[in-house]
Amino acid sequence: MIVHIVLFKWQEGTSSETLESVVKSLEALKDKIPEILEISCGQNFSERAKGFEHGLMVKFSDRTALTTYASHPAHLEVVNNLIRPILVDIIALDYEI
C-alpha cells in the first residue's frame, strides 16, 4: 500500500470559504478516482507545522495507482483551479506500508 502525504501553505488572506472549498474538492476525489482507497484532508492545529496549514493523506494499493491519480483529470482540475492560485509552498511525501 502507498501513502501519499501533502502539506500546503496558503497565501495570507485566503478566506476560510476558499479553503473549505479546497478541502471538500480534495475529499470528493474519492468518488471520481477509483484508485483512491482512502482520503482525508484537514487543517493543522499544531504549532510545529512551520506555516503549513492543511494536510492531505491519500492511500493507494500500489505505485501505479498513485501515478494514475497524479495525472487524472479530476485531480489536475482541483490542483490547477483551486490549489495553485492560492498556494505559497507545498511538501509531498510518498511511502510504502
The CATH number that applies at residue 83 is 3.30.70.100
Question: Which residue range(s) make up the domain with 61?
Answer: 1-8+52-97
CA angle centred on 91, ends 81 and 4, rounded to 5°: 85
Cell of 82: 483551486
pLDDT digits (tens, 9 = 90+) for 10-45: 999 999 999 999 999 999 999 999 999 999 999 999
Q: Please report, as a single letter, which amino acid is at residue 87.
A: L
Residue 95 confidence (pLDDT): 99
**Is there a domain that residue 39 lies in?**
no
Task: Please indicate, yes or no, if residue 38 is contained in any of the structural domains.
Answer: no
d(CA 71, CA 17): 27
Whether 18 maps to a domain, the answer reads: no
Residue 20 located in a structural domain: no
**Spatial CA neighbour of 97 closest among 68, 54, 62:** 62
For residue 25, what pLDDT is reported? 98
Q: Rounded to whole angstroms, how far apart are CA atoms 68 and 19?
A: 25
| Total domains in the fold of the chain | 1
Give a yes or no: residue 14 inside a domain. Answer: no
